[in-house]
Structure 1
Amino acid sequence: MHLRAEAILLSVRGHGEHGAVARALTEQDGLQPGYVRGGRSRALRPVLQPANLILGEWRSRTEEQLAGLTVELIHSRAPLFGEPLPAIALQWATALTASTLPEAQPYPRLYAALDGVLAAIEAAPAARGWATAMVRYELLLLAELGFGLDLERCAATGSMQDLGYVSPKSGIAVSRAGASGYEDRLLRLPEFLTEGGAAEWSDILDGLRLTGHFLERDLLIGRGADLLSTRVRLVDRLKRAVA
């Protein structure tokens, strides 16, 4: 196995005394893990930072063997980890992707969307510039992994108009007329997800509540409390930022 490609670094963990195992997302070859010799060294620590764009070269004798990985830094987002809100956003987006995608399966739409989210965080660290992109990325991740929501028509009436809610059980949209009397049992569907355009903070938080429900139910079961706590911290920081 020999692969050379640009990739978004998603996660890094120490392995042995000096090495590290890194997981990175490539556009055409999906999620690729690899062992980086000397990955815990002073020289490589700034390179092996989640959210960085790298040029990776993976080599192994067999498909089953963990590949050896050498990395070159293309673009660093390390400075953003000095700012609390961008840092937790980068941490969440990369950890979510690393934890849920199967290895070696191409997800070019997810690669492009994740690159867009990370670029938006870098360009506008204030959350209003990237929070809607984060919601859309979470929706796309659900869809790409087979848990997409149906936000096209009402589950109760079949109408494609005035959709305002989503069933927490079926993941299908519900119109305001169809939701009458049952609003407290449904998740609110913010308009920016169906109509586009700008979003108020209340809409952004509703969007995160919507995606969070289905991420926790369908993708993050058994993934560990640390991952979920990262998202809780992100939402809490967003709430404090707009309070």
Structure 2
Amino acid sequence: MPVIRTPAIVCTVRRHGEHGAVVRVFTPDHGLQAGYVRGGRSTALRPVLMPANVVTAELRSRVNEQLASLTVELAASRAPYYTEPLAAAAFEWVTLLTAAVAPEDQPFPRLYAALSALLDLVCAAPSARWWVRAMVDYEALLLAELGFGLDLTRCAVTGGRTDLAYVSPRTARAVSLHAAGVYAEKLLPLPAFMTTDAEPDWEQLLQGFALTGHFIERQFFADRRADVLAARGLMIDRVKRIAV
């Protein structure tokens, strides 16, 4: 692998040995990358290697099968926002999710841009409602980018494009209010903001989380990685506390 020097978002940090760390970073042109950071657990580097921070990353490896050596320089710190429990939970979930499901060495420029914008919004939005909607959108985009996108363009039964109110938990396709009929209770509610510019209330935002969460769990975490979903549960619990 040639030397890669790139902007990157820190996603996960795992202790390796007495002083080092294996770090996964998400990059705009090279996708998810993993590398060993010498001294990654040191006092100097711990504030740099915080999930959601932006760094300039340099990866070097002699052979493709070898874990790359990674050095980092801090470009933008989001550490101050870790003092806010909801923001901290959002950082943890979205970076952990990205590191857990994105294939390594494959570029996802749209996903990188969306993740960067979402993290900025968590820091800057005057109300959590602004970035909660963006979080639902990011989860939906991630599903789409990895080949599991929701089809919310037309009714799976009638082919119509209006009155879409539900999603099939099996096919991920939208269903209109009229077509759902007696099966409505078996379908997932489709909040209007996911197909229009409608401004969502908290109930609709939580419906959005329920919708994307169903497919995230089914496609990526069936029988594995309960710790990742626990991070999502923590974030949603904190959202519910302010959803009044």
TM-score tier after normalising by the smaller chain length: over 0.9
The AA in structure 1 aligned to 2:129 is R
1:182 Cα offset (Å): 1.6
Q: What is the rounded CA distance, in whole Å, between the counterparts of 2:167 and 2:184 in structure 1?
A: 10
Equivalent residue, structure 2, for 1:201 = 202
Query: What secondary structure is seen at the aligned counterpart in 2 of 1:117?
Result: helix
Alignment match, 2:34: 33
Provide the secondary structure at the position in 2 that maps to 1:135.
helix
Structure-to-structure mapping, 1:35-74, within 5 angstroms: 35-74=36-75
Report matched runs for 1:111-126 at 5 Å. 111-124=112-125, 126=127
Alpha-carbon distance in 1 for matches of 2:88, 2:119: 11
- State the AA in 2 paired with 1:233: L
Conserved 8 A contact 1:99-1:223: no
Alignment partner of 1:40: what SS? coil
Cross-structure match for 2:87: 86
1:75 matched residue in structure 2:
76
TM superposition score normalised by structure 2: 0.97
Q: Does the 8 A contact of 1:201 with 1:242 survive in 2?
A: yes
CA contact under 8 A between 1:86 and 1:125: conserved in structure 2? no
In structure 2, give the amino acid aligned to 1:38: G
Take 1:133 and 1:222, find their aligned partners in 2: how far apart are those partners? 28
TM-score, normalised relative to structure 1: 0.98
CA distance in 2, matches of 1:217, 1:143: 14
Greater alpha carbon shift after TM alignment, 47-56 vs 213-222: 213-222
Distance 1:40 1:125, change over 3 A: farther
Identical residues among aligned pairs (%): 57
Displacement of 1:125 after TM fit?
6.4
1:1-243 equivalence runs, <5 A: 1=1, 2-124=3-125, 126-243=127-244
Separation in 1, partners of 2:127, 2:18: 38
Q: For 2:50 and 2:230, how far apart are their aligned partners in 1?
A: 20
Q: Which runs of 5+ in 1 are unaligned?
A: none
Aligned residue pair count? 243
Aligned residue identity for 2:147: G
Q: How far, CA to CA, are the matches of 1:204 and 1:77 in structure 2?
A: 25
Secondary structure at the residue paired with 2:180?
A: coil
Cα distance in 2 for residues equivalent to 1:223 and 1:97: 15
Please state how far the C-alpha of 1:197 moved relative to its aligned partner: 3.4
Write the distance in 1 (CA, Å) between the matches of 2:194 and 2:77: 31
Matched residue type, 1:225: A
Cα separation, 2, equivalents of 1:36 and 1:115: 23
Task: Work out the CA distance in 2 between the residues paired with 1:91 and 1:77.
Answer: 12
